[in-house]
Structure 1
């Protein structure tokens, strides 16, 4: 056994340090969906399967056509992701083409966002806004009363004393009751939904936290039942979507991302420490040591594999408005994390010049604006390489495969004889697919919903 080096030991080594929770929600596969009700419930997030929409009026089937080959693509993932302060129900759909000839081509992975106006939740948002306004008004009045000079003592035998005192007590009670009203609209746990908790939909709220009257509280379970019945009654048996190729449908569960705390190391006095941004830095910084830039090592990929290695089963990373995790140092990486302008190298002895470390910052302005409303787009989620393994496993298991006719089988054999067999096999080659959506979540107000295509940036597995 090698002798212990006391210089490398510190008291902090014996501390029980807890993992650090990030703002990222990880989506994990959670077994096949066998319930017909769950398959028809749009609030059940899933991997593979056929899409389920917010309205009985299905979107055009061309939405899932590959822009490279024009053939229908398979659904990779469907995510139930309503926004907390929006009156709309919301779902995200991502399709991908598995044909070998379409890999590394634009349009072989597409993402769409669907909204539907939720009247009952909109009414709750309006009541919440009214209560917040009343609370702010009461606080403003209380602040004004506190800053006023003290009034002379009133005559205790005055006729209007009791009336005035009653009015004063009433105002104070209203202020206290309003200030104590909690916020019942915390929907942070809504991402990925869940079949076993239908009350998680926007129409539901906790009876302990709901500021509305008792009569309205008693109606909420009925509202949830109505919503579930309405969603379950939607059927797409006659839709063209049921004829599209599909993988086996799997549940998609969610868990927060946890990262181990950074190890404390001793550094020479006066040395500059450049902390890793995992779990600590919130500015999206990306630090690379300048002297390593010329080495043939992909630092982005090293960081990607290290971060993903803490939860290897993750199929999606969800962080609306967060920072994407780049897969490789390619054109997409340089676009999202542009290199800062460095000092010019001298004409002579450039090889011996010490280059300072580069600090790359995530730049959302590099993403084009929403073509509908002109608002900025933000990062919402990204698909992870394990999703390809999960989908490939469902194919091998024979789950959800489209039956081929004799003619289709003959055409596939001909393609394989011509060396084009990869077109008919599962051959997705991306490293990660990043989805950027409209920050305003724009919709068609007149129709009470929308169907919008969002931006997808793909980093391919070279």
Structure 2
């Protein structure tokens, strides 16, 4: 089976292929247990075992400050990418009509806990294997291969279905472990001058009169106390939750592209208007420009629609460090992607794409609601810190980047 679309290019018109597998793992809503008891659409959010809830401010819409509803919680451990890291990600949305289409009405969070011994051992093993095989080319690690139970993990039954299975050499090494961390420092004899310098007081203020040193320290003041965190609200403070669903996973298979299709051609039903034949008077040029703009938008949307039509019941697309399937290239996010995904606000590292919700999720989340006044986004993207930064070995809550592409309003 060819691994990608390029393998379908051939001079033979008689060659045919079956559907081919992409690097994306798809999530489907399920009423039946999938073996992953943590991941779910909708429902009340739950926290990792023995973990403290996130700060209460995380629960509030940035527009109206009211509690939001859970869209998604996902077991997102990636042992080949981040050895020793426990990871969970969450998406929330505000259900107030006045907050729709406004920045901050959809928010995303990440929970990370690092186990030092596991992280160090996995990092050393990965480093040794990687160095021994660096001269040979290896296939790209499929980080989404076992997400949602798409493929059984070789470890315990509670392993994250998003994580790739297989030996450590097939995945990325721990980015926190520098290569020199395991190399011993060469012994060196200290010179008399160095010994003299070492015996000198480290604090220059110690050589000053005691009264001056004391005043300097007093002027600096004590360190500021930690900022108190607002407790997470009780369930009664939240809106009625969306109905919960388990999430099942499968690898994405799509049909091969048609040999007769031109990758640069417009999708069926979309055409550029000719100013001389379609336009009338002085406004014909403007009409042609408008049609050209619409054709770009339609082409991107057509690609989005065609890909979802291959697996119409999907609610989630997961591809860590991959590329999202954009709903539009003419809105603010589409025009500036990937620059629109801001750096991590905690460590300054680049963020990477992790997952996106697609309209099938709206169908599942709002299946018990009547009318057409519900969510109106085309896709919700989640970008996370590429280092999975955390506060030492303690469990850490981080707000991550969320990008929303809204449905196009009719004119």
Q: 1:116 aligns with which of 113, 117, 125?
A: 113
Could you tell me which runs of 5 or more consecutive residues in structure 1 were left unpaired when the two chains were aligned. 1-9, 141-184, 212-237, 267-272, 277-287, 337-362, 397-421
Does residue 430 (structure 1) correspond to residue 388 (structure 2)? The answer is no
Does residue 192 (structure 1) correspond to residue 148 (structure 2)? The answer is yes
CA distances 1:332-360 after superposition (whole Å, capped 9, x unpaired): 34433xxxxxxxxxxxxxxxxxxxxxxxx
Residue 130 to residue 457, structure 1, CA distance change in 2 (3 Å): closer
Residue 126 to residue 382, structure 1, CA distance change in 2 (3 Å): closer
TM-score (norm 1): 0.57
For 2:406, the equivalent position in structure 1 comes to 460
For 1:372, the equivalent position in structure 2 comes to 346
Deviation at 1:22, TM superposition (A): 1.4
TM-score (norm 2): 0.63
For 2:90, the equivalent position in structure 1 comes to 93
SS at match of 2:157: helix
Contact 1:384/1:431 (CA < 8 Å) preserved in 2?
A: yes
Contact 2:114/2:394 (CA < 8 Å) preserved in 1?
A: yes
Whole-Å Cα distance in 2 between the matches of residues 274 and 429 of structure 1? Answer: 30
Residue 65 to residue 134, structure 1, CA distance change in 2 (3 Å): closer
Q: Pairwise CA RMSD of aligned residues?
A: 4.1
Q: 1:48 aligns with which of 20, 42, 46?
A: 42
Deviation at 1:428, TM superposition (A): 1.2
Whole-Å Cα distance in 1 between the matches of residues 233 and 319 of structure 2? Answer: 32
For 2:122, the equivalent position in structure 1 comes to 125
For 1:382, the equivalent position in structure 2 comes to 356
Does residue 68 (structure 1) correspond to residue 63 (structure 2)? The answer is yes
SS at match of 1:393: coil
CA distances 1:177-200 after superposition (whole Å, capped 9, x unpaired): xxxxxxxx9864443359x98535
Residue 135 to residue 274, structure 1, CA distance change in 2 (3 Å): closer
Residue 104 to residue 210, structure 1, CA distance change in 2 (3 Å): closer
Residue 209 to residue 88, structure 1, CA distance change in 2 (3 Å): closer
SS at match of 1:387: helix
Whole-Å Cα distance in 1 between the matches of residues 351 and 129 of structure 2? Answer: 29
Q: 2:395 aligns with which of 449, 452, 459?
A: 449
Question: Greater helix share, 1 or 2?
Answer: 1
Could you tell me which runs of 5 or more consecutive residues in structure 2 were left unpaired when the two chains were aligned. 1-9, 136-140, 170-230, 266-270, 275-287
Whole-Å Cα distance in 1 between the matches of residues 72 and 389 of structure 2? Answer: 22
Contact 1:81/1:92 (CA < 8 Å) preserved in 2?
A: yes
For 1:335, the equivalent position in structure 2 comes to 335
Whole-Å Cα distance in 2 between the matches of residues 12 and 78 of structure 1? Answer: 47
SS at match of 2:326: coil
Deviation at 1:250, TM superposition (A): 0.6
Whole-Å Cα distance in 1 between the matches of residues 345 and 106 of structure 2? Answer: 19
SS at match of 1:315: strand
Residue 193 to residue 255, structure 1, CA distance change in 2 (3 Å): closer
SS at match of 2:361: helix
Deviation at 1:106, TM superposition (A): 1.0
